[in-house]
Amino acid sequence: MEKRAQANTTSGVACVGVIMDGNRRWAKENGLPTYEGHAQGYKTLKDLMRWARAAGIPHVVIYAFSTENWQRSEQEVGYLMKLFRFILENETEEMIREGVRVRIIGERARFSEDMQKMMEKMEAATGAAYDITLHLALSYGGRAEIVSAANALLKRGVPVTEEAFARALGSHPMPDPDLIIRTGGEKRLSNFLPWQATYSELFFTDTKWPAFSKEEFDSILAEFSARERRHGK
């Protein structure tokens, strides 16, 4: 893998996590069908990657679809699968042009075999040269990730240390997020990266994800840089 030169940064952020909440409510408020909220949410995600790259942030992890989201209506899950399929089939070349490497974390086995193959293909194609890595959490649940890592260590007979456990996580080698942003007004992590978020700075905003702006992102980065992070010391 070839990592291209990073932009200069004063943010001090190696990894930012985002819980993209509010797509459905944004669509409803704007008199649009639910799928339009998700479509606009994806456009905002692409904007976010440009903002993060300009700030020199090398890793972004996005909570795109949780294990619990499978329980939504068949119609909405079906639309989301179509959206994910569209991204996998059509967005690879743009990711390459934008210098974005894509990694997908989560329970891939719950997706169709052809989608799993497309995930592998996108990861391989975008990993040749990149400025920034997008970690897409799809069918992801933090507790499930922890249980899977524990079982993997037990099966291998490896002594359980924090370092060994971290390496066994499906998200490895993604760095722990320095900050996590949740849009949409809710103030919880909803099973997102419980192990990795131990010392993350948390930012909650009432702005619904499709309306999230560069100005608000930059404001959050500025507030983050002003916080004193002691990590328990």
- Per residue in 179-195, pLDDT tens? 999 999 999 999 999 99
Residue ranges of the domains in the chain? 2-224
Residue 8 has pLDDT above 50, yes or no: no
Q: Sort 230 into a burial class: Cβ within 10 Å, 0-12 / 13-18 / 19+.
A: exposed
Cα angle value 114/40/38 (rounded, 5°): 50
What pLDDT was estimated at residue 228?
73
3-state secondary structure labels for all residues of the chain: CEECCCCCCCCCCCEEEEECCCHHHHHHHCCCCHHHHHHHHHHHHHHHHHHHHHCCCCEEEEEEEEHHHHHCCHHHHHHHHHHHHHHHHHCHHHHHHHCEEEEEECCHHHCCHHHHHHHHHHHHHHCCEECEEEEEEEEECHHHHHHHHHHHHHHHCCCCCHHHHHHHCCCCCCCCCCEEEECCCCCCCCCCCCCCCCCCEEEECCCCHHHCCHHHHHHHHHHHHHCCCCCCC
Residue of 21, 131, 176, 178 marked catalytic: 21
**Using 50, 70 and 90 to split pLDDT, how confident is the model at 231?**
low
Is 21 labeled as catalytic in the residue annotation? yes
Is 69 labeled as catalytic in the residue annotation? yes
What pLDDT was estimated at residue 7?
44
Q: Which CATH architecture has domain 2-224?
A: 3-Layer(aba) Sandwich (3.40)
pLDDT > 90 fraction of the chain, expressed in percent and rounded:
91
Residue of 30, 47, 69, 90 marked catalytic: 69
Residue 3 has pLDDT above 80, yes or no: no
Taking the model in full, what pTM does it have? 0.93
